[in-house]
A = this chain, B = another copy of it.
Amino acid sequence: MARPTLSDVARLAGVDVSTASRVLRGEAAQRIREETRERIVQVARELDYRANAFARGLRTARSSTLGIVVPQLDNPVFAAAIQGAEAAAAEHGFSLLIAHRAPGARDAGVYKRLSEGNRVDGLLVASLDDDDVLLSELEATETDYVLLNRTLAGARYSVVLDSRAATRIALDHLVSLGHRRIAHLAGRPGGFNAGERLAGYREGLAAHGIGFDPDLVAVAGYTAEGGAAAMRQLIDRKPTAVLAATLVSAAGAMAVLHEAGWRIPQDVSVIGLHDADVATMLYPALTTVRMPTERMGRLATELLVRLVAGESPEGVAPLAPEGLVVRASTGPVAGLGGSLRAPSGEKRR
């Protein structure tokens, strides 16, 4: 049998479609006799009735669907964010339409295409594109949106991780182990997170009375090759510790250090920002600062849900790091002997 419609339900329950609609939608002002309501609900259940999404959407101009567009699917940070977004969306009765948008793609319009024809009520957007092009594309959609993992001048809502605080935590850990020559493998120059991390690095240095040495900083971006290249550039400066912006760049750096015959953590400590399974797959297992990436996706989604409901929610502050995960890649600075206790095992997860 074909999918039952509202009028099927109404007919079998002996009521008008409008009554059935009211009941099934759980309308606030329920001026419906209890007996009638029960009959309708009962019939609907028997028929396994579900409202036709198109008809409802056509009528209400709302889709109960959110769009999420990401620059890469294979990035663990975005993967986690998507996972959180999907879960939150489902909890609020929304579906998630996913789209991919290559960084720098001049295809003028994933955002628009998604928002056209009321396909989505709102957009979750992660992007590595420049502020101006992103903003103009977004504004052209005339749709509510929330930025994921970045800020954007001119955009009201974005949910980000507190990269600066995370960097501070990493740096404090290294300093507590006696390190003072700490190299920084930075992210994409000009990028929001990269800037925050560099700021955290400098702040932390200053707080510990360590001078900032620009020769200990190199741009690694977000690839293993980038991390390796940056490390090659810095290795002659003889750092005793390396603070990498991401797991991937940390991995690239570690490969270079291995090749150069440096032992980790005996000769050099390495710490990465963000935590993921790969941290345990590296050798030695990487000490990291865990970040609430999945929660970022959840919060952004919840914000967006309220936004499309017509509310004007408060923005959310940068999400605090969840803490340090000490593994095997960090240890006391060489030459300090037993004066500082070496970390042992994984402290938290």
Contacts and interface: CB of A to CB of B under 8 A. Distances in A.
Given A57-B54, A97-B96, A118-B54, A285 B255 contact: yes
A74 interface: yes
Nearest to A110: B90
Interface residues of A, number: 51
A118 B54 CA distance: 8
Contacts of A51: 117
B87 A100 contact: yes
B74 A83 contact: yes
A280 B58 CA distance: 50
Contacts of A65: 97
A77 to B, nearest CB: 10
Nearest to A281: B251
Contact of A118 (B53, B223, B251, B254): B53
A98 B82 contact: yes
Given A117-B51, A117-B52, A73 B63 contact: no
A74 B76 contact: yes
A247 B83 CA distance: 22
A108 interface: no
A1 to B, nearest CB: 10
Given A58-B54, A117-B54, A252 B281 contact: yes
State how many copies of this chain the complex holds: 2
Interface in A253-300: 254-255, 258, 276-278, 280-285
A63 B255 CA distance: 48
Contacts of A182: none
A177 interface: no
A116 interface: yes
Contacts of A117: 3, 50-54, 56
A20 interface: no
A282 B76 CA distance: 16
26 contacts: A50-B116, A50-B117, A52-B117, A53-B54, A53-B57, A54-B54, A54-B118, A55-B58, A56-B117, A73-B79, A73-B80, A74-B76, A79-B79, A86-B99, A95-B119, A97-B97, A98-B98, A223-B277, A224-B277, A247-B281, A251-B281, A252-B281, A254-B283, A255-B280, A255-B283, A281-B281
The 8 closest A-B pairs by CB, nearest first: A251-B281, A54-B57, A53-B117, A54-B58, A50-B116, A98-B98, A283-B283, A73-B83
